[in-house]
Amino acid sequence: MRVKRFAAAVALPVAAMMLIAGCGGSSSDSSGGSSDPNAAISIQGTQPENPLVPANTNEEGGSIPLDVMFTGLVSYDTDTSDLKMEIAESITTTDAQHYDIKLKDGYTFHDGTPVDAKSFVDAWNWAAYAPNAALNASFFEQVKGYQDVNPTPPAGSTDAPAPTAKTMSGLTVVSPTEIKVELVAPYSPFKQKLGYHVFAPLPQSFYADPVAFGRNPVGNGPFKFVAWNDNTDIKITRWDDYKGEKPQVKDVTIKLYQSSEAAYADLVSGNLDFQQLLPPSALAGEKYQSDLMDRTLDKDAPRLTTVSLPMYDQRFANADLRKAISMSINREQIAKVIFNDTYVPSTSFSSPAITGYEADTCGEACTYDPAKAKDLLAKAGGFSGPLTLTYNSDGGHKDWSEAVCNSIKSSIGIDCVATPTPTFSVLRQSINAKQMSGLFRSAWSYDFPNLENGLSPLYSTTGSANDSKYSNPEFDAALLKAAAISDPAESNKAFIEAEKMLAADLPAIPLWSVTQKAGYSERLSNAKLSYTLELDLTQVRVNS
């Protein structure tokens, strides 16, 4: 809006610019019916925060290249997010605690060495071993023997005791094509968890120099690493000896952008083939529709935004008060006005992108009802002092935080103030130190598509991301019970039962889930978003 108003005013410098700049220009191919199997495409990315080692990558910049350079035991189906066997021939269990994994034969790494049971088990042991300081070590916490290779520091200390073993006792290489895994306790989501890239196999050359490997990775996936120019691009190319599903494009350049606005400008003018997430400026007023016509993709993101409550603060001890706050938030209106309907109001504690998701598990507590909210507030004895909603100001959360506060204020009369912290890390620091004194922003991105991943880490007493410090022994027991059921459908049902218990306690208030909007150029066809909301590079085609 604002830019448009200025457009007339800058006509003069623009005219001057026109005189100096008489160069550049871009060409675009017209589309035909068939596809070109050797085409090159470019997609948007960001500079990876860490060297490209699966166990050290937990953000999008690194995940985009890693997810296509490495193939793990299983993957998630692009259309349904269901589990798909990749290198694994079968994964069987009878008690959800002992798993027998059989591998397909004949897969190799890009350097020609075989992908066998050892290449998985060694990679997992390396990732879990504390002295290797892998960012994603905790993903192996369910495996028996994890505590020996990565002991927890005693309470109040940051110095962990030295590991007593180098490998986890729960992992056994039976033969080159068979792995046996024993977990500490029954844990049925383990199969789904295996699809996360931290469980990818690594070639033996990795262990000689992990740092050098991270700059020049050797994978086993459909695409092979070519080059990584810092802040500029990562180039990968199709690996023609791949045993699995072969891509229909050859060279892929992941262009590393600083801002999504710049990438969008390139997308619209044909210099970029795919953008994963359109910037807010393109969503405002549905500008993208005139820019991209129908070349956009929508998909539910495995992500959920909540505001959490500090359960350690006595002022929030009353459940009726928490419910009153939740019921005073007009989610529908905020999603419409602030997010241009790309966000969907939440009615449960899970994301609709997850298999087994059930709507309305939050029930009445997540519906907007100012009258009922007022009654509940009165019943709870009111609330003293201003209520704060803390958000980090480096991520574009100001508008909705203020809207949520205004909604609370106008519905039930609590004086609510949206309070910024300068950065995400400052916010995390105070949350980890239990210093929150009001509502605070929390958003969860699922690591793998299982209901459990949106519950245990966040709300179980020992959860690694339990920000509200919620503790309910019955809820913990319900989670354990669900994890012990090896039938996936039954297990999901049990997780839903556990989830419903949260609605009564409301340690966090679900706000909305995200529908991600991606865009692609005229050259592409059959563009699809994978479970991780990346472009499915094995299916995309280029018109010739």
Partner 1 sequence: MGRYILRRLLQMIPVFLGTTFLIYCLVYAVPGDPFAGKCGQRACPQSFINEMTEKYNLNDNIFVQYFKYLGNLLQGDFGSTFSGVPISQIISTSYPITIRLALLALFIEIVIGIAAGVLTGLGRKGFFDNLVLISTLLLISLPVFVTGFVLQYLLGVKWGVVNPTVSPKAPWNELIMPAFVLASLSLAYATRITRTSIVENRRADYVRTAVAKGLPQRRVIGVHLLRNSLIPVVTFFGTDFGALMGGAIVTEGIFNINGIGRQVYRAIQVKEGATVTGLVVVLVLVYLLMSLLVDVLYGLLDPRIRYE
Subset of 380-399 contacting partner 1 (CB under 8 A): 394
- Structural contact between residues 235 and 252, judged by C-beta atoms closer than 8 angstroms: yes
Nearer to partner 1, 211 or 489 (CB): 211
Stretch that binds partner 1, among 13-21, 82-90, 94-102, 507-515 (CB under 8 A): 13-21
**Member of 3, 155, 208, 293 binding partner 1 (CB under 8 A):** 3
**What is the nearest approach in angstroms of partner 1 to the Cβ of residue 154?**
11
- Between CA 363 and CA 29 the distance in angstroms is 52
Interaction of residue 230 with partner 1, rule CB under 8 A: yes
Q: Rg of the chain over CA atoms, in angstroms?
A: 25
- Between CA 160 and CA 138 the distance in angstroms is 14
Pairing status of strand 387-392 against strand 439-445: parallel
**β-bridge mates for residue 237, sequence order:** 224, 251
- Structural contact between residues 97 and 183, judged by C-beta atoms closer than 8 angstroms: yes
**Member of 266, 273, 452, 499 binding partner 1 (CB under 8 A):** 266
Q: Where are the alpha helices (DSSP H) in 314-455?
A: 319-327, 331-339, 370-379, 398-412, 424-432
Nearer to partner 1, 49 or 364 (CB): 49
Interaction of residue 290 with partner 1, rule CB under 8 A: no
Binding residues for partner 1, total number by CB under 8 A: 76
Interaction of residue 6 with partner 1, rule CB under 8 A: yes
Helix, strand or coil for residue 302?
A: strand
Pairing status of strand 171-175 against strand 98-103: unpaired
**Member of 79, 160, 209, 504 binding partner 1 (CB under 8 A):** 160
Helix, strand or coil for residue 308?
A: strand
57 closest CA partner among 260, 234, 196, 168: 196
Interaction of residue 269 with partner 1, rule CB under 8 A: yes
- Structural contact between residues 290 and 78, judged by C-beta atoms closer than 8 angstroms: no
Residues 35-64 as x/- pattern, contact with partner 1 by CB under 8 A = ------------xxxxx------xx-----
User: Restricting to residues 207-226, which ones interact with partner 1 according to CB under 8 A?
Assistant: 211, 214
Nearer to partner 1, 78 or 450 (CB): 450
**What is the nearest approach in angstroms of partner 1 to the Cβ of residue 371?**
34
**Member of 172, 175, 258, 435 binding partner 1 (CB under 8 A):** 258
Nearer to partner 1, 162 or 489 (CB): 162
Residues 306-345 as x/- pattern, contact with partner 1 by CB under 8 A = ----------------------------------------
- Between CA 51 and CA 38 the distance in angstroms is 29
**Member of 429, 435, 462, 526 binding partner 1 (CB under 8 A):** 429
- Structural contact between residues 32 and 185, judged by C-beta atoms closer than 8 angstroms: no
**What is the nearest approach in angstroms of partner 1 to the Cβ of residue 8?**
10
Residues 437-476 as x/- pattern, contact with partner 1 by CB under 8 A = -----xxxx-----------xx-----xx-x---------
**What is the nearest approach in angstroms of partner 1 to the Cβ of residue 17?**
5
- Structural contact between residues 53 and 197, judged by C-beta atoms closer than 8 angstroms: no
- Between CA 326 and CA 371 the distance in angstroms is 13
Q: CB count, 10 Å around CB of 53?
A: 27
User: Restricting to residues 138-157, which ones interact with partner 1 according to CB under 8 A?
Assistant: 138, 150, 153
- Between CA 48 and CA 65 the distance in angstroms is 9
Stretch that binds partner 1, among 32-40, 172-180, 328-336, 418-426 (CB under 8 A): 418-426
Nearer to partner 1, 329 or 508 (CB): 508
